[in-house]
Structure formats: C-alpha cells, structure tokens
C-alpha cells in the first residue's frame, strides 16, 4: 500500500515518463515504429522497472489510471513525431483490458490526438490467452476492425500452447529476446528460431525480433527473412526529445 500511494502521487505530480525504443525493418534498417516504455525515477525507490510498477498498479484500480495515462501520453507524444514515425506501440496490461470498455477509451484518445487508428499498435502478453473471456475477445476484434494492430509481446514465454494464434485477431508477434540469444549460441536453437518464424509467416503475422544486441544476430535475422528488429544494437529506449533528433537525423 505504501508503494501504491507513492505511485499514485507520482502520477499526480508528473513523475512518470515514457521512453521510446525505435524498431526497424531488418532488410533495409529503416525506421518502422517506436515502442513506448514506462519509466519512473522515484525519489524514494530510484529507478523501478516497468514490470514492478505495473505489478503494483495491478493490485488496485491504479492500473486503470496508469494504463490510460500511458496511452494518452504516448499518443500526444506521437503527434509530435509526425511525419517521421509511422507506428506507435503501447503495452497494455491484460488486467486493464478486462476492467474497462477499452474500445471506447481508445476511440476517445485517438480522436483527441488526431492520430489515425492505423498508426496505433497495442502490445499484449500471452497471459491474455489464460484470461480471455468473450467480452475481451470481442473488444480485441473491435480494435482490429478499427484498424489498430495487435501484437503478442514476449512470444514463446507464456507456456500456453499455440492454438490461440488462430483465435486471437493478431497482426504481429514479437519473439522474446531469450530465443534470439539462444539461437546464436546453439545450432538446434537456431533451427527452433527458424521454426517460430515459419509458424508466424504461415499465419500471416508480422514478426519483430526483440533484443538484437549484436551484428551477428542481425545478420542471422536477415538470412532468416525476419521482418523487423528491435534492440540495443539498433537503438536504445530514449526520451521523446532525443527521439525527435534521432528520427530527424535518419531522414
């Protein structure tokens, strides 16, 4: 409860920040989009990981405020990146999606910011499968029909089978960075990585490789015809002002 109150105050006093990590096409290394990542430099606790912040928020209705703050702030920031950035990804906690009529909220924020739904991508984790209910599935379908894209984050780490890939209205899978790391250390894991890519391709999903840290990994992704890549090798998460210079310099 103590840390919850601190987080509540942090939100009220403008202490939360969004950083942005660029994503690139593997073939040409062109900027394809940016992912918003939550940051909180707490006076009391120092830098806290977004997982920790979200876990605290999920214990109460704070997750609703936090998710909506993030979505609204990211869309507002994104309007300042025009025309250099074409896609914005925002992580949404499944517990938020269960609590709120998310379609109406997203529609409202898009209208406020003047951003086209085709520019917005929402990242959810595989836990959505375990928690999925008919209303949640229907909300995801409506978001897709609006033109918003939906990504599965940390793909492969959720231990929940694969049949959900057909059931959920997904556009993208983001392959967890642990698989890429393993692929370059072990030939059998390299084959596994290829199989994951093939599976996603067969389902017409766009594929983003997470955690690209070395040239060798990037080369592996090129040879494997992976679509997009994100990672420290290409660009680290950065504040909006830095992203603005970064994207201008790329043009």
Site residues, ligand G (CB under 6 A): 21, 37-38, 49-51, 54, 70, 91-93, 153-154, 177, 210-213, 230-232, 237
Q: Given the complex with Na ion, which of 77 and 153 has the nearer CB atom?
A: 153
Cα–Cα dist 219/111, whole Å: 41
Q: Is 154 in the site for Na ion (CB under 5 A)?
A: yes
Cα–Cα dist 156/200, whole Å: 12
**DSSP code at position 214:** S
Q: Is the dihedral of CA 128, 117, 39, 5 positive or negative?
A: negative
Which member of 23, 32, 70, 91 binds Mn ion (CB under 5 A)?
91
* Cβ 237 vs Cβ 229: under 8 Å: no
State phi, psi for 161 to the nearest 5 degrees. Answer: 75, -175
Q: Given the complex with ligand G, which of 26 and 212 has the nearer CB atom?
A: 212
- Tell me if residue 115 falls in helix, strand or coil: coil
The stretch among 53-61, 62-70, 122-130, 230-238 that binds Mn ion (CB under 5 A) is 122-130
Tokens of 120: 């917005």
Q: Which residues contact 236 (CB under 8 A, 6 or more apart)?
A: 21
Name the one residue in this structure whose structure tokens are 């977004």: 50
Binds 231: which of ligand G, Mn ion, Na ion, none (CB < 5-8 Å by kind): ligand G
The stretch among 116-124, 128-136, 183-191, 227-235 that binds Mn ion (CB under 5 A) is 116-124
Q: Given the complex with ligand G, which of 177 and 206 has the nearer CB atom?
A: 177
Q: Given the complex with Na ion, which of 77 and 154 has the nearer CB atom?
A: 154
Which member of 31, 78, 96, 123 binds Mn ion (CB under 5 A)?
123
Residue nearest to Na ion (CB): 154
């Amino acid at each position: 409860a103590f840390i919850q109150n601190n987080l509540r105050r942090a939100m009220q006093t403008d202490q939360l920040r969004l950083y942005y990590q660029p994503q690139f096409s593997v073939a040409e290394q062109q900027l394809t989009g940016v992912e918003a990542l939550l940051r909180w430099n707490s006076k009391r606790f120092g830098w806290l990981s977004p997982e920790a912040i979200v876990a605290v928020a999920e214990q109460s209705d704070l997750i609703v405020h936090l998710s909506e703050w993030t979505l609204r702030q990211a869309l507002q920031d994104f309007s300042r990146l025009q025309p250099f950035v074409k896609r914005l990804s925002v992580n949404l906690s499944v517990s938020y999606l269960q609590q709120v009529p998310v379609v109406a909220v997203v529609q409202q924020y898009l209208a406020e910011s003047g951003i086209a739904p085709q520019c917005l991508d929402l990242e959810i984790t595989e836990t959505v499968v375990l928690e999925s209910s008919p209303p949640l599935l229907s909300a995801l379908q409506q978001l897709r029909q609006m033109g918003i894209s939906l990504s599965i984050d940390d793909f492969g780490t959720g231990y929940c089978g694969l049949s959900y890939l057909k059931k959920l209205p997904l556009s993208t899978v983001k392959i967890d960075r642990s698989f890429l790391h393993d692929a370059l250390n072990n030939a059998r894991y390299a084959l596994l990585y290829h199989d994951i890519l093939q599976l996603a391709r067969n389902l017409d999903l766009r594929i983003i490789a997470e955690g690209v840290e070395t040239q060798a990994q990037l080369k592996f992704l090129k040879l494997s015809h992976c679509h997009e890549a994100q990672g420290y090798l290409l660009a680290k998460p950065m504040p909006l002002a830095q992203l603005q210079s970064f994207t201008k310099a790329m043009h």
